[in-house]
Amino acid sequence: MADRITDTRTTRQPASDALAGARAARDSAAKRTRVFLLAPAILTIGIVGLMPLSIALVYSFLEPGTYGGVTWAFSTDAYVQFLFDRDIFDDSLTFSTSYLSIFWRSAFLAIITTIGALLIGFPTAYFIATKPPAQRNLWLFLVTLPFWTNLLIRTYAMLLIIRDEGFINITLQMIGLTSGPIEMLYTDGAVFLGLIYSFLPFMVLPLYASLEKLDFRLVEAAHDLYAGRVQVLRRVILPMARPGMIAGCILVFIPCLGAYITPELLGGGKKLMIGNMIALQFGGSRNWPFGSAAALILMAMVLIVLLIVNRSRADAEVSHG
């Protein structure tokens, strides 16, 4: 009897070892498959994303070349230049707000553009979401139609509309509201209009994706419980649309910070934004280290904004949970 038990245990041990080996081989094969499938994406991110950032990081700590490029000597002057002006005679530093004002103007325009796009995009998305399914595709097509045209062409079209001899000024003068052209071009207002026009679909589409999932029976139930329109909006619709609002605000705010074409054309070079300043450093100023440092500072601003949004979203989920 004891010999039979021993034989059974001896037989089970190789079987369990074989099963464990088969599972290990299966897990190893699955891991190799995952690595193989992820390799193209990782390689693309490394080449397209991390490599340029690494080059910019290295260049930001070097000295500028005489006619562009860099001199391979370690220096932190690019970051010092962002906040201070260096005297050419005694190398003394004086605090300067020149570049800070450009960053502030860019952040301000990005914020008001995001708010404006939200105020326009939310009613638009709600209007589309409340339409019959057969009509929604048509409205979405009209919203995304401007994307079929190059951004440069769209910006030129906006320039022709708001210039002194443009459609708006001619119309206002024809109906007698103004006696002469209103100065709209080459102002912060022109840049704001151009940014709204360029990035509004980025707000509408995420909002529509959230509002499309809204069960409008909840809205009817809220009205049946004597909730007013403001209460329904605040307690039913907005909580359901919050993910789309957050996504839309991020998709509008981040490109606005680094916008180049719109402020260049509609601002006329008078209203610099971060993107124009960075391009100027790599172009006319030939100061590649400072251009790289400014780009990294811009990236740091974006990361800070994303961290704040992510933290506020996590706190909101905890409070509602």
Q: What is the pLDDT of residue 2?
A: 47
Residue 55 in tokens: 């080059």
pLDDT digits (tens, 9 = 90+) for 197-249: 989 999 999 999 998 888 777 877 887 777 788 888 888 888 888 889 989 99
Q: Where are the domains of the chain?
A: 1-28, 98-320
Return the DSSP state at 233. I
Tell me how far apart the alpha carbons of residues 111 and 46 are, in angstroms, rounded to a whole number: 31
- Cα 283–Cα 106–Cα 78 angle in degrees, nearest 5: 45
Helix (H) or strand (E) holding 138: helix 133-144
Q: What is the pLDDT of residue 163?
A: 87
98-320 placed in CATH 1.10.3720.10 = yes
pLDDT band at 181; cut points 50, 70, 90 = confident
Q: Give backbone dihedrals phi and psi of 66, rounded to 5 degrees, phi first.
A: -65, -45
Tell me how far apart the alpha carbons of residues 273 and 257 are, in angstroms, rounded to a whole number: 8
pTM (two decimals): 0.81
pLDDT digits (tens, 9 = 90+) for 252-268: 998 898 888 888 888 87
pLDDT digits (tens, 9 = 90+) for 143-166: 888 888 888 888 888 888 888 888
Return the DSSP state at 68. B
pLDDT > 90: percent of the chain: 19
